[in-house]
Structure 1
Amino acid sequence: MLDSNRFTLSKCRKILLVLLPCVVFASFVYLNSGETKPRQNPSWRVSHAGLTLFTKSPSAVTWRDGDGEVTDEWWLQESERDSHSVNPVLPPIDVSGNTNVTMKEFHVSASLETRIEAETRQEKPAVKNESTAASKTRTANWKIMRCHGRGHNEFVNSCARRLPQALGIGVKKCGTGAFLFFLGSHPSIAPRIGEVHFFDKSTNYEKGLEWYRKLMPFSTKNQFTVEKSPKYFVAPEVPQRVLDDLSSKTKLILVTCDPVSRSISDYVHESLIKSYQRRRNITRKASAYDIRTTFSDSVIKPDGSVNAENALISTSIYVNHVQRWLQYYPRKQIYFLDAELMKRDPYQVMRELEEFLDLPSYFTRQHFFRNKKTGYFCLAKPRERCLPKNKNRRHPSVDEKTLDTLRNFYAPFNREFAKLVNKHFLWMDK
């Protein structure tokens, strides 16, 4: 009798273990069955007047951070990002899934951010305990994302890929990524993230201007499209190509830094590329770079003179390359950005860029904060973010003799450069 009871209890336990998950699942379905939900896409999209509007669900409220500003990462879908850009690449599309959206009202708020009130309706909701399948209405405030996710200026209903009105032409390893990182947060700037190398690579240039335009981010008529490729600065054929294909009114931005530090950073960068190519058995193309075991061996010849033919050195002779650019563009159309000043006070540099590009005033000191771990400035608005960790790589140790040799070598070129552009740079005081 006892054995029979044990057998029965054991059997009941097994049945309960099977039934319990089913009961829990059924309860969950019942509690959430008040309304049939549309397909669960990563985000829901609405288009109007050539703009694309993103939100996480049909009933989502206006997306804002603590300062009332919009952040790109909240609404972009990973699968629909340009591989080199944080800007959406989709054309305007209708709302996803089985939701209809009725546009009711437009108005511009005091913050100059265009908003739209949208009424969302379910086409065929299955509402529990209701005798009819009448549409259930919900109302939500939607934020218009100005092409690349930032609301500013007056409402503009044109959204397209445009050729850049401003180019970051260099200098390599002087902070071109940092300048675009900061400037790109301005609502009137549509930054092209990633280097295109259209004007300096013949294989790209031969693809034509339309190919180049299609690589640009979406922008409105009131926005500046900015693209940067540091090799534009040193490639002899680029100034003429830019003048021919873009405009004589194109604004140019040149970031300069201490030539010795730049050369060492370039050595670190090129050494990593060389190491990667060696590991992958990739044949290294002919290059103006002479990368050896140490930095000193790469830039100093056996007789003790500087190897000026090495691109590590020649790229840092700024005056040689600027003279070429000034043959095509006047001094007033080139902003010479002091990388040392940007490290110390990015706010001042961004304010100068606003004036140079004739942009609406946007930046304040509250837009920047210093990262206590790295010592470098980051963006505080519209949300806190810093440059990627692969920036500001550590430099190898270089003996003082090599450093002194290079400083003495660059000194006359630096003075000539400062005189030519009529500007003193903080990095010259180091």
Structure 2
Amino acid sequence: MRSNAAIKVLGLIVVLATGFIFIFRQSFDYREVIGDTQDVPGLWNSYNGWEEALKRAIGKENERVRRLPDVIGIGVMKCGTAALSEFLSYHPYIRAYPGEAQFFNKRYNRVKGLQYYRESLPAALPHELIYERTPGYFEYADLPGYLRMILPKSTKLILLLCDPVQRALSHYALKIKNNPEDRETFDDFVQRHLLRPESVTNDILRRGIYHRNFKRWKDKFGKRLLVINAERLLSAPSVVFETVQRFLRITVLLTGENFVKNTTSGMYCVKVPTMTSRDITHCMDGRKGRTRSKTATYSMTNRTAALLRSYYLPYNRKLYEMIGQDFGW
């Protein structure tokens, strides 16, 4: 009798534990990420999983070889591509190119050939992934077909799309930084260019029209393209990074406990363990967040924001139809 009772109790514990795990996994909101991100069995590890991952490369630095990238961040400019790349580079299985490669969007680089491109990328062990990002790639109409032709069939792409209104402000802030003599405010800039919204050609405003370029990339890469609502990088970075790791089919090490807020800027930093007793905390360069952080130095009036939302609305709707999801911009 005691044996039967014990078995029943054990069975109840298993059922409750299974239910808890299911609820825990479902509590993450992955609705704002589009792509092939199905679960990889056995890849959900706790913070303690870092030690095993870090040990895999010890003493093997000379065994790394150069090859074409396993994953490319193709854009969009001013949508958090630098944050994604820098934080992801702290994963032990990611070998990221520092900065932007700027290879395929430069004609003179293409002439140098794939061998030159390969040699410019980081070397990696078989279990490590080589990552490069160039936000400008998204804008080139011929690149989806060209990259599909020359890259390995296993290469994956990551595309960050953000609120085009905020993207335009961030792009304009960069323009002013590079041209401090330009005194025109963002509000005046928008009103001047939106006098004839049907004929806008300015690059700052045009880059927020995503649907045309998105279709080209989606048609060529299908499920090998991961699309992320970059607004989630600001509000829930752990959700984004967990999904990226599943998409890349690497051990999920960057989770909620690895992201901490900078109390000054209000932006998230990444905190990761090392083989020593000290953790590393990395925050984005202070020049980032010119329009998003607590210390933002650029803003727009409500009237300007309303003008831009009205301008982008029909284009956003076309994008949502293509991806089957409304990002709420």
Q: Which bin holds the TM-score, normalised by the shorter protein?
A: 0.7 to 0.9
State the alpha-carbon separation in 2 of the partners of residues 255 and 365 from structure 1: 20
1:206 lines up with 2:111 in the alignment? yes
Give the drift of 1:265: 0.6
Contact 2:95/2:131 (8 A) holds in 1: yes
Work out the CA distance in 2 between the residues paired with 1:304 and 1:112. 56
* The one of 220, 227, 246 aligned to 2:125: 220
Q: State the 1:146 CA deviation.
A: 5.1
> 1:296 is aligned with what amino acid?
D
1:415 to 2:317 alignment: yes
Which of 184, 187, 207 is matched with 2:89 structurally?
A: 184
Maintained 8 Å contact 1:160/1:219? yes
Q: Secondary structure at the match of 1:193?
A: strand
- Which whole-Å CA distance do the structure 1 matches of 2:90 and 2:53 have between them? 16
1:219 to partner: Cα distance: 0.8
- 1:145 & 1:419 partners in 2: Cα distance? 50
- Deviation, 1:318, is 0.9
Shift in Å at residue 230 of structure 1? 0.3
Decide which of 144, 148, 172 is 2:58's aligned counterpart.
Answer: 144
Match of 1:84 in 2: none
Whole-Å Cα distance in 2 between the matches of residues 181 and 145 of structure 1? 24
How many Å separate the matches in 2 of 1:403 and 1:158?
53
Residue 271 of structure 2 is aligned to residue 380 of structure 1: yes
1:280-359 equivalent positions in 2, closer than 5 A: 293-301=184-192, 304-306=195-197, 308-330=200-222, 332-359=223-250
Kindly report structure 1 stretches of 4+ aligned residues shifted beyond 6 Å.
Answer: 67-70
TM-score w.r.t. length of structure 1 = 0.58
Separation in 2, partners of 1:303, 1:246: 40
Return the offset for 1:225.
Answer: 0.6
Q: Which has the higher contact order (CA 8 A, sep 6+)?
A: 2
CA distance in 1, matches of 2:171, 2:193: 21
Q: Distance in 2 between matches of 1:386 and 1:162?
A: 29
For 2:257 and 2:236, the matched residues in 1 are separated by 12
Task: Please state how far the C-alpha of 1:415 moved relative to its aligned partner.
Answer: 1.8
2:272 aligned counterpart, secondary structure: coil
Note if contact 2:54-2:92 (Cα within 8 Å) is conserved in structure 1.
no
Q: Any gaps of 5 or more consecutive residues in structure 1?
A: 1-66, 71-109, 116-142, 148-156, 279-290
Question: What amino acid sits opposite 2:207 in the alignment?
Answer: T
Q: CA deviation at 1:406?
A: 0.8
Corresponding position of 1:158? 63
Q: Distance between the aligned counterparts of 1:206 and 1:230, measured in 2?
A: 20
CA distance in 1, matches of 2:179, 2:109: 23
| Uncovered stretches (5+) of structure 2, i.e. residues with no partner | 1-46, 274-279, 291-295
Bigger-Rg structure (1/2): 1
Separation (CA, whole Å) in 2 of partners of 1:112 and 1:271 = 43
Partners of 2:74 and 2:157 within 8 A in 1: yes
SS in 2 for 1:300: helix
For residues 2-53 of structure 1, the C-alpha deviation after alignment (integer angstroms, 9 at most, x for no partner) is xxxxxxxxxxxxxxxxxxxxxxxxxxxxxxxxxxxxxxxxxxxxxxxxxxxx
TM-score under structure 2 normalisation?
A: 0.75
The one of 149, 152, 167 equivalent to 1:262 is 167
Give the 3 Å change call, closer, same or farther, for CA 202–366 of structure 1 in structure 2.
same
Q: CA deviation at 1:112?
A: 5.1
Which residue is equivalent to 2:261? 370
Quote the residue 1:240 is aligned against.
Answer: 145
What CA RMSD, in Å, does the superposition of the two structures yield over aligned residues? Answer: 2.5
Q: d(CA) in 2 for partners of 1:360 and 1:258?
A: 30
Letter in 2 for 1:388: D
CA distance in 2 between counterparts of 1:400 and 1:346 reads 27
Q: 1:411 to 1:146 in 2, by over 3 A?
A: farther
Whole-Å Cα distance in 2 between the matches of residues 411 and 173 of structure 1? 19
Say which of 285, 288, 299 aligns to 1:391.
288
- Aligned-pair identity (%): 32
**Structure-2 separation of matches of 1:205 and 1:242:** 11
